[in-house]
């Protein structure tokens, strides 16, 4: 039995590696399904065998993709802009590390992957012992195992990646990191599959004292698993695709009126031999009548009948109902799905987005806990345990999840100012305002105040005039 930091591990590291790798591959298979829905790469479902035999592969690459809109609408409103310590101050060191690792860009991809697949992962490590790296990975590369009975106590973590013809793995424990490698191709370049055994590539000490791999999990129930945002969309997505396939097929065959000739034999023409004798007859091509737009009805009582075109709105109304169900179930504003937003008041728009805003704020709580843990590990890697403790009890500062116009922000902030809310608190409520910009504004305000106290009013209101030349002759009366 292996014991790491007081935690008993019943399996050897190699057995643990094989078990976690197999579990990761099972999750990756499910994640691939939701990823295909997000990309619109799904087979046609709910169609009868007769319809499939009729259309063949015609609709194999068709998808009216609503599965992409739902996670995109959520992730575009989840933008962390700072990390606050437990005393309420902004941690500039954490934000510097965040920006240095381009996490302000990469975290959006991690959130999107978590919304699609249910999970993504963040890793904090010092590969060279000097610079701390924060990287993000999807469920096809990483997995975290928890202590039985404890939802947030990480027992182990596994990160796997390809390196040419090899596959490498890092198995993280609180005290150690086991490195593994195995061949995925033989000398002829053929894949070896998963049967090739892992070979130890060394063991490293883990100075952080914790598994440095952190899961960013989409909301789950207490006894459930993290869920994909696309799971509830997929059935209605399949229904919409099938309805569109039926509509397009009907449009091809029945979108225009069809005319028929009643009371006549089929139009034919005689077939003559070389001597001009009639030896048979053949049907006249219908294209001739379509081209010439002429038809002679020679038999008495013959008449023209017409079959009206099919009403395709029967299909579109059902598709619109399915889209409305997607909007209701996923709390996505209808304007995101239907594109209909004409003469809508600001209050009506805010009300239509209330469900999405509440959903985003809920996700911010779950993802915020993971981001705090990531930055706690970053502080430990930087050798600052006091800051790490303060970050663990702090919070993540997010950009406002509610999209408002500048006039709405100005009106709200003016009313807050009227009840003596400090300027710094008002600035934090402004969208896309970073802590660095707030510090710059505070410095500018201090400079203005100093100019006023010093009597330099020109410096406060505008450009200061040039001072008189000391060498100029004095003017005397």
Q: Which segments of the chain have a pLDDT < 50? A: 1-2, 188, 475-477
Q: State the pLDDT at residue 456.
A: 60
Q: State the pLDDT at residue 186.
A: 63
Both tokens assigned to 255: 């979108």
Distance CA 156, CA 340 (A): 49
Nearest-5° Cα angle at 339, 336 to 345 = 85
Q: State the pLDDT at residue 131.
A: 86
Q: State the pLDDT at residue 128.
A: 79
What is the gyration radius of the CA atoms in the chain, in angstroms? 34
Distance CA 100, CA 87 (A): 24
> 């700072």: which residue's tokens?
82
Contact assessment for residue 284 and residue 261, using Cβ atoms and an 8 Å cutoff? no
Indicate the Cα dihedral angle 82, 84, 88, 92, nearest 10°: -70
Q: Which of 58, 33, 26 is nearest to 233 (CA)?
A: 33
Distance CA 78, CA 365 (A): 11
Q: State the pLDDT at residue 217.
A: 94
Distance CA 76, CA 403 (A): 11
Q: State the pLDDT at residue 210.
A: 96
State the maximum Cα–Cα separation within the chain, in Å, rounded to a whole number: 135
Q: Which residues of 369-401 are buried (b: 16+ CB within 10 A; e: fewer)?
A: bbbbbbbbbbbbbbeeeebbebbbebbbbbbbb
Both tokens assigned to 19: 């078990």
Count of CB atoms situated within 10 Å of the CB of 131: 11
Q: Distance between alpha carbon 278 and the CA centroid of its chain, in Å?
A: 74
Q: State the pLDDT at residue 468.
A: 56
Both tokens assigned to 81: 């802009």
Q: State the pLDDT at residue 465.
A: 55
Backbone φ and ψ for 252, nearest 5 degrees, come out as -70, -30
Q: State the pLDDT at residue 251.
A: 83
Q: State the pLDDT at residue 1.
A: 46
What ranges do the domains of the chain cover?
Answer: 2-42+65-217, 257-308
**Collapsed DSSP state (helix, strand, coil) of residue 390:** helix
DSSP letters for 266-294: PPEEEEE-TTS-EEEEEEPPHHHHHHH--
> 């002829």: which residue's tokens?
188
Contact assessment for residue 168 and residue 181, using Cβ atoms and an 8 Å cutoff? yes
The secondary structure of 11-73, three-state, reads CCHHHHHHHHHHHHHHHHHHHHHHHHHHHCCCCCCCCCHHHHHHHCCCCCCCCCCCCCHHHHH
Distance CA 392, CA 449 (A): 37
Q: State the pLDDT at residue 385.
A: 94
- Strand pairing category for 278-283 and 213-217: unpaired
Q: Which of 14, 12, 214, 159 is nearest to 3 (CA)?
A: 12
> 């209101």: which residue's tokens?
461
């Amino acid at each position: 039995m292996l014991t790491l930091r007081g935690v008993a591990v019943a399996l050897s590291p190699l057995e643990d590696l094989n078990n976690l790798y197999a579990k990761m591959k099972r999750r990756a298979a499910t994640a691939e399904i939701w990823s295909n829905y997000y990309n619109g790469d799904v087979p046609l479902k709910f169609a009868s065998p007769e319809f499939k035999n009729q259309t063949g592969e015609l609709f194999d690459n068709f998808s009216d993709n609503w599965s992409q809109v739902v996670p995109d609408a959520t992730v575009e409103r989840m933008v962390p802009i700072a990390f606050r310590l437990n005393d309420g101050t902004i941690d500039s060191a954490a934000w510097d590390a965040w920006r240095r690792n381009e996490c302000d860009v990469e975290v959006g991809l991690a959130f999107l992957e978590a919304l699609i697949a249910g999970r993504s992962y963040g890793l904090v490590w010092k590969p060279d012992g000097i610079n701390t790296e924060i990287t993000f990975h999807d469920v096809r590369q990483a997995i975290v195992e928890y202590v039985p009975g404890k939802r947030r106590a990480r027992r182990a973590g596994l990160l796997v990646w390809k390196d040419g013809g090899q596959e490498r793995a890092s198995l993280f424990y609180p005290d150690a990191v086991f490195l593994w490698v195995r061949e995925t191709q033989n000398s002829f370049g053929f894949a070896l599959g998963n049967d090739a055994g892992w070979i130890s590539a060394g063991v490293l000490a883990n100075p952080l004292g914790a598994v440095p791999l952190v899961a960013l999990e989409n909301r789950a129930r207490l006894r459930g698993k993290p869920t994909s945002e696309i799971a509830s969309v997929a059935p209605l997505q399949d229904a919409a695709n099938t309805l569109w396939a039926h509509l397009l097929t009907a449009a091809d065959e029945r979108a225009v009126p069809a005319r028929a000739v009643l009371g006549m034999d089929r139009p034919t023409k005689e077939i003559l031999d070389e001597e001009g004798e009639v030896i048979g007859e053949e049907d006249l091509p219908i294209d001739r009548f379509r081209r010439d737009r002429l038809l002679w009805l020679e038999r008495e009582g013959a008449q023209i009948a017409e079959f009206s075109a099919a009403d395709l709105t029967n299909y579109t109304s059902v598709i619109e109902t399915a889209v409305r169900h997607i909007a209701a179930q996923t709390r996505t504003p209808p304007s995101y799905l239907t594109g209909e937003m004409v003469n809508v008041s600001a209050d009506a728009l805010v009300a239509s987005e209330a469900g999405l805003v509440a959903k985003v704020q809920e996700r911010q709580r779950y993802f915020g806990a993971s981001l705090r843990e990531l930055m706690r590990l970053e502080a430990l890697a930087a050798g600052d345990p006091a800051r790490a403790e303060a970050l663990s009890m702090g919070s993540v500062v997010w950009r406002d999840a509610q999209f408002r116009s500048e006039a709405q922000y100005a009106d709200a902030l003016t009313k807050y100012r009227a009840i003596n809310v400090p300027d710094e608190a008002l600035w934090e409520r402004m969208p896309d305002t970073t802590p660095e910009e707030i510090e710059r504004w505070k410095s500018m305000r201090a400079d203005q105040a100093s100019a006023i106290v010093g009597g330099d009013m020109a410096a406060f209101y505008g450009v200061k005039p040039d001072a008189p030349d000391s060498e100029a002759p004095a003017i005397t009366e």
